[in-house]
Amino acid sequence: MAPDGPAGAGAPAEGGDLETQQWAIQRRIDDVFAKLGEKFGDLSGRVVVRIKPETTFAQIGGLREAKSIVRSFATALTDPELYRKWGITPPKGVLLYGPPGTGKSLLARALATETGSVFYHLKLMNLTSKFGPNTGELLQEILAVAKEQGKGVLFLDEANALSLEHLLPPAQAREASARLVAALCEKLDGLDDFSRMIAVGSTSRTDSVDSSLVAPGRLDRLVEVTLPDGPDQQEILEMARKRAEAAAGRTLFAGLDYRSMLPPMGGMSGAEISEIIRRALEQKVHAAGQGQDNGLVTTQDLLQQIDRYRRTREMVEKIRYGQYL
Ligand SMILES: Nc1ncnc2c1ncn2[C@@H]1O[C@H](COP(=O)(O)OP(=O)(O)OP(=O)(O)O)[C@@H](O)[C@H]1O
Ligand SMILES: [Mg+2]
C-alpha cells in the first residue's frame, strides 16, 4: 500500500559498490581508532563516514543566503581546476555558526550529496572528550585516509569543542587548545590546494572558536545560520509534513491554519519544528495502539504540542539556571 519514497526507490546497480566502498573507508577509520585506542583507551565509533549522504539542498527550508554560499563551494570539490584557470586556489573551508538545530549539519551533508563527495562526520565533542589534547594525532590519520578517497567533505561538528574548556581548567584549556588547533591548522595548511577536500566547521558558540582556525586559507568563510522567521518556519513545517506523508504513503494532516500556529512558534528552530511534528504523529500512534482512530493531525493537535513543548523548554531553562537546585 505504501509506495517507496524517492529515496527508498530500487537501489541502482552501483548501490552495492558504494556500500562496499563506504564499509571499506569506515573500516580503515575504525582501524585508526583501534590503533590509537591502544594508546589512549577505547575510542571506537566517533567518526561516521557516508559515501552517499541523502540530504539535499531542496530539503533545507529558509537559509537562502547560507545555502547559496555553501553551494558555491561545490566547484572547489567537483572542478578545482576552474580556480586555477582564474589564477587562484579553491577555498579550503567554511565555518557555519548559529543557534542549535538550525540546519548546519544539513548544509554540510547537502554539499556532500550535491557533489558526490564522501562525508566524514567528526563529532569533536566526543573526540576531544576521549582524546583531549591528543585529538590532533587522530585528525591527521583521518585526513590521511580521506585524502586517498577523492572528493570529501570533512565535517568538524561542534568546532567549539576544540577549546577543551569542557575538559580542563581555563588556563590549561587555553594552552592545550592552542596546541590542538595549531595541529589541526597544520593539517589544513598541508592539504594540497587542489585536493578536492573541503572542511566544514559548525558551532553554536563562536566565542570559543579559536581565531587561528578561521584565518585565511583555513575555515576562512563564515556563514551565519539563523533561526527561521515566520515564512521560513512555515516552509520547514510543510517540508516535515510532506516528508512524513511521503514515508507513510498517505495524507496524515488536515489543512493547517498557519495564522494561528506561527505566533506561538516564534523563535523555534527547524529542529524544534520537526520535533513538534514528530510528537503530534507519535500521539496518533499511541491512540491507534489503543484501538482509537482519531483521524488526521489537525491545527489543534499541533497547537497542543507547541504549547507542551514550550512548557517543557521553560522548565529545562529553569533547571539550567539553577532555580530548582
Ligand atoms: N532549515 C531547516 N530546514 C529543514 N529542516 C531543518 C532545518 N533546520 C533544522 N531542521 C531539522 O532539524 C534537524 C536538525 O538539524 P541540524 O542537525 O542540521 O541542526 P544543527 O544546526 O546542525 O544543530 P546543532 O547545532 O545542534 O548541531 C534536521 O534533521 C531537520 O529535521
Ligand atoms: Mg549539527
Q: Is the pLDDT at 179 greater than 60, yes or no?
A: yes
236 lines ligand 1 (CB under 6 A): yes
Query: Could you give the C-alpha distances from 223 to 49, 214, 248, 258, in angstroms and in order?
Result: 24, 12, 35, 29
Mutate to test the pocket of ligand 1, among 59, 102, 109, 155 (most ligand atoms within 8 A of CB): 102
pLDDT digits (tens, 9 = 90+) for 53-79: 789 999 999 999 999 999 999 999 999
106 lines ligand 1 (CB under 6 A): yes
Buried-exposed string 147-167: b where 16+ CB fall within 10 A, e elsewhere: bebebbbbbbbbbbbbbbbeb
270 lines ligand 1 (CB under 6 A): yes
Q: Is the pLDDT at 14 greater than 70, yes or no?
A: no
Query: Could you give the C-alpha distances from 165 to 126, 138, 209, in angstroms and in order?
Result: 13, 19, 11
Mutate to test the pocket of ligand 1, among 70, 106, 239 (most ligand atoms within 8 A of CB): 106
- Percent of the chain topping pLDDT 70: 91
What is the value of pTM for the model shown? 0.86
pLDDT of 318 reads: 82
SS3 60: coil
Mean pLDDT in residue range 92-111: 95
Q: What single string gives the DSSP state of each residue in 214-243?
A: GSTTSS-EEEE-PPP-HHHHHHHHHHHHHH
- Which residues, at least 6 apart from 72, have a Cβ–Cβ distance to it below 8 Å? none
pLDDT of 39 reads: 65
What distance in Å separates the CA atoms of residue 233 and residue 61, rounded to the nearest whole number?
8
What distance in Å separates the CA atoms of residue 92 and residue 73, rounded to the nearest whole number?
9
The most confident of the ranges 16-25, 191-200, 316-325 is 191-200
161 lines ligand 1 (CB under 6 A): no
Mean pLDDT in residue range 17-45: 73
Q: How many CB atoms lie within 10 A of CB 199?
A: 26
Domains of the chain: residue spans and CATH: 15-224 (3.40.50.300), 230-320 (1.10.8.60)
Cβ-in-10-Å burial (0-12, 13-18, 19+) of 268 comes to buried
Strands 197-203 and 118-123 turn out to be unpaired
Nearest ligand (C-alpha, residue 269): 1
C-beta of residue 116 within 8 angstroms of C-beta of residue 160: no
Mean pLDDT in residue range 127-140: 84
Retrieve residue 242's grid coordinates.
510532506
Cβ-in-10-Å burial (0-12, 13-18, 19+) of 263 comes to exposed
Q: Residue 5 — pLDDT band, cuts 50, 70, 90?
A: very low
Q: Residue 120 — pLDDT band, cuts 50, 70, 90?
A: very high
61 lines ligand 1 (CB under 6 A): yes
Q: Which atom of ligand 1 is nearest to the CA of 225?
A: 21
R_g of the chain, CA atoms, integer Å: 22
SS3 176: helix
Q: Whose CA is nearest to atom 13 of ligand 1?
A: 271
Mean of all residue pLDDT scores within the chain: 86
